[in-house]
Structure 1
Amino acid sequence: MSVERQRCAWGESGNALMQQYHDEEWGRPSHDSRHLFELLSLEIMQAGLSWQTVLNKRSAFKAAFADFDYRQVQQMLPQIPVLLQNTQIIRNRLKVTAIINNAKAIAKLADKGEDFDHYIWAFVNNQPIQHHITNHAEVPNTTDLAKRMSKQMKKDGFSFTGPVVVYSFMQAAGLVNDHETSCFVYQLLVK
């Protein structure tokens, strides 16, 4: 007999990938630089599209972008024409170019001795921000912190990192906990 878990409203879409992403990944603090780069890249790809579309193409993105190894991705500028022919991914030149550019920005940080994980988590003083959302409609699409983070990221060479993309990335990577308070994941994250 399985116990039914209460999830955020969006995690109850009936789509297995969405549910798994909600249950196992979204909002859980990530400190793996490769994973953080992947989440940022996926949020960039999602801009203007549904998250389900991005999740359905996630394995293709991983294959196309060297499993989000920023050292390899930063070298992919000459491959843009090939990537734009890849029907398995979202073929948007601005988004593809931004992912490659962001890999270069992460490499530049690493070359100065700063890990992407440390760079990102410094924006929240290495502590997830615990929001207390009772209804997913209360979740903002951006915040003042996301605006400051976006501005700094752009200054540091990142692209396609506007405040809305940055806030979505913060949610995905667990910098903020925007799970609904009735959600089982929220309960795990506030303990």
Structure 2
Amino acid sequence: MKKLIITFTIASAIFLTNCNNSEKESSLKDMKMTELNLADKGIPVTVKAPEGAKVKEGMFSGEFGGIRMYDYEIVKNSFALEVSMDDAEELRTAKEITEDAAEAAQTEEGFAGFVKKEPDGFIYKIKTDDYEEYKFYHVLIKNNRAIEFNEGLKLFTGFNLNDIKILYDIAKNAE
């Protein structure tokens, strides 16, 4: 029985060490970035993305109430950035859009506060009994359209603060 416990303990330690190493290897700051233009997808913006990233159509792409919605997720390993825009002229300012998005974020289950707030975006924390993660929102007004950015879906885990800051910075520097 003692051998079984020792073997299990060693195997668990090796597994956890390997998991931690793979997380470090897939860190966003270590990824080689390149310019990615989404104009051919209907969104007039260029963003930084990892080399070889895939652009996948998001679940909100399509026509709703006569307005065309463009929604794409840029993904590679632990990198996931969602970029969306509807094809209707935007009459609100970036600040007004951001205030509305901030109100919506505050209703999210586990909302624990804003880490950073700016007129065109914010980073916020979600904390529950089971997990802690960070999310962000950023809006860019271009050609009278609101181009919105947020973290994409990351399966089985959320984003840590460092990775969210990188994604937020990418969104802020989109052109």
When the two structures are superposed, what TM-score results if normalisation uses the length of structure 1? 0.26
Bigger share in helix: 1
Decide which structure has greater strand share: 2
Structure of higher RCO (CA pairs closer than 8 Å, 6+ residues apart): 1
